[in-house]
A and B are shown apart, each in its own frame.
Chain A
Amino acid sequence: MNANANDVASEIRDGYVLVRLSGEVDLSWSQAVRLAVLDALDHDTAVGVDLSEVSYIDSSGIAALVEGFQRARTRGSRFALVAVSDAVRAVLELARLDRVFLLVATPEAIVTVA
């Protein structure tokens, strides 16, 4: 079921910070995800959250993404979800958040997509 270990890691790239999540994001560690997302926003640059290796995300994980998105908007920064897995997409669609977030296929598209 869960091929990937639960992990969050950030890397600074050319023009954006990429936060990579993997595993099952749930209440037990979603606060670490929240802090990683908010820390990434402190770089005052575009932020992408790579969700390709996330096999499950609960509402607390989604809440971390929502808070990050809202904070980015107030700062005028770009915030995108990258390579959203089917499992994550299903949860986003449940609350119609797929129509709210910027969803991109690749990390590079964080800065290039119109």
Chain B
Amino acid sequence: MNIAAPLIEVENLEAWYGRRRVLHGIDFSVQPGEIRVIMGGSGSGKSTLFRHLLGLQRPVSGSVKLFGIDLANASERELLGVRKRIGVSFQGGALLTSLTVGENVALPLREHTTLDESTIRIMSRLKLEVVNLGGFQDLMPSQLSGGMVKRAALARAIVMDPRLLFFDEPSAGLDPVVSAELDELILRLRDALRMTIVVVTHELESAFKIADTITVLDQGEILMTGSVAAVRASDNQRIQDLLNRRPREVLVDADAYLKRLTEEEA
């Protein structure tokens, strides 16, 4: 049995945008070596949860712990320690446009280590090879296709061999072959480099291929967390709607509706 402490622990997490509550008391944990997929439709709260996991947004209430460290109450030193052990691949890549691809990938090594330049060069080019961008180090991000940007961002996210990798929408905007290659790579990163990986996606095929466990979010609540088989077999109507791409029924509360249309501060 795996009795290791979870790498991620979220307890009773609440998030609000104005008067709209977008996360309702989320409890969430991820074990070392696990590939967890957070799945949900648009507006389900998955991006908000993702930002909280990265410490980019502070919880209104509840807590987010990575490696046992509460992000909201951590010292600068503790936060730096956490940042060195995580890698993040953002949906849009977030490459620095004034740096070459190679400089982008090498950036975390230059910021966080005292490795000699030769090691930094080999490590960053190695990761470009891993994502099938070998030899592209001297190009600027503007010279890359969307799929290449995403892969370069992944190379930067894994250049420090993070224990915990966050990956936002790996398949979005990619052709099916590159998308399948990325799925395969995610599995190999876990196996070869022992990464724990959290992937946010709404791509069902990708989720089912890579996930050990899936957390299904809907309207700010976790509908379930379970294995691929358990999610597929769930008798929850919303989960089945998501899996079968059925549009949801929008309930109309006449009072609330009129209020939203007419109140000055709706």
Distance of A9 from chain B, by nearest CB (Å): 21
Q: A60-B161, A94-B188 are in contact. List 16 more A-B contacts (CB 8 A).
A: A26-B161, A27-B115, A27-B160, A31-B116, A31-B119, A34-B116, A58-B161, A58-B193, A59-B123, A59-B126, A60-B115, A63-B118, A94-B189, A94-B193, A95-B130, A96-B129
9 contacts between A and B (CB under 8 A): A26-B161, A30-B119, A56-B194, A59-B123, A59-B126, A60-B123, A63-B119, A94-B188, A95-B129
- Residue B126 contacts which of A34, A56, A62, A90 (CB distance < 8 angstroms)? A62
Question: B144-182 toward A: CB 8 Å interface, digit per residue (1/0)?
Answer: 000000000000000111000000000000000000000
**Inter-chain contact A67/B129, CB cutoff 8 Å:** no
Per the 8 Å Cβ criterion, residues 5-46 of A in contact with B are: 26-27, 30-31, 34
Q: For the side of the interface on B, what is the size category?
A: 20 to 34
Distance of A97 from chain B, by nearest CB (Å): 8
Distance of B92 from chain A, by nearest CB (Å): 25
**Inter-chain contact B126/A63, CB cutoff 8 Å:** yes
User: What residue of chain B has the Cβ atom nearest to residue A87's Cβ?
Assistant: B192
Collect the chain B residues with CB atoms within 8 Å of residue A111's CB: none
The secondary structure that dominates the B interface is helix
- C-alpha spacing A59/B106, complex, angstroms: 13
Distance of B203 from chain A, by nearest CB (Å): 23
Distance of A107 from chain B, by nearest CB (Å): 25
Collect the chain A residues with CB atoms within 8 Å of residue B127's CB: 59
- C-alpha spacing A95/B124, complex, angstroms: 12
Assuming the contacts A34-B119, A60-B119, A67-B119, asked whether A27 and B113 have C-beta atoms less than 8 A apart, the reply is: yes
- Residue B119 contacts which of A56, A64, A95 (CB distance < 8 angstroms)? A64
Collect the chain A residues with CB atoms within 8 Å of residue B193's CB: 58-59, 91, 94
Distance of A89 from chain B, by nearest CB (Å): 9
- C-alpha spacing A94/B160, complex, angstroms: 15
**Inter-chain contact B122/A66, CB cutoff 8 Å:** yes
**Inter-chain contact B161/A31, CB cutoff 8 Å:** no
Tell me if B78 counts as interface (CB < 8 A to partner A): no
Assuming the contacts A58-B193, A60-B123, asked whether A94 and B161 have C-beta atoms less than 8 A apart, the reply is: no
User: What residue of chain B has the Cβ atom nearest to residue A93's Cβ?
Assistant: B192
User: What residue of chain B has the Cβ atom nearest to residue A92's Cβ?
Assistant: B192
User: What residue of chain A has the Cβ atom nearest to residue B119's Cβ?
Assistant: A63
**Inter-chain contact A67/B126, CB cutoff 8 Å:** no
Tell me if B191 counts as interface (CB < 8 A to partner A): yes
Collect the chain B residues with CB atoms within 8 Å of residue A97's CB: 126
Question: B176-213 toward A: CB 8 Å interface, digit per residue (1/0)?
Answer: 00000000000011011110000000000000000000
- C-alpha spacing A26/B113, complex, angstroms: 12
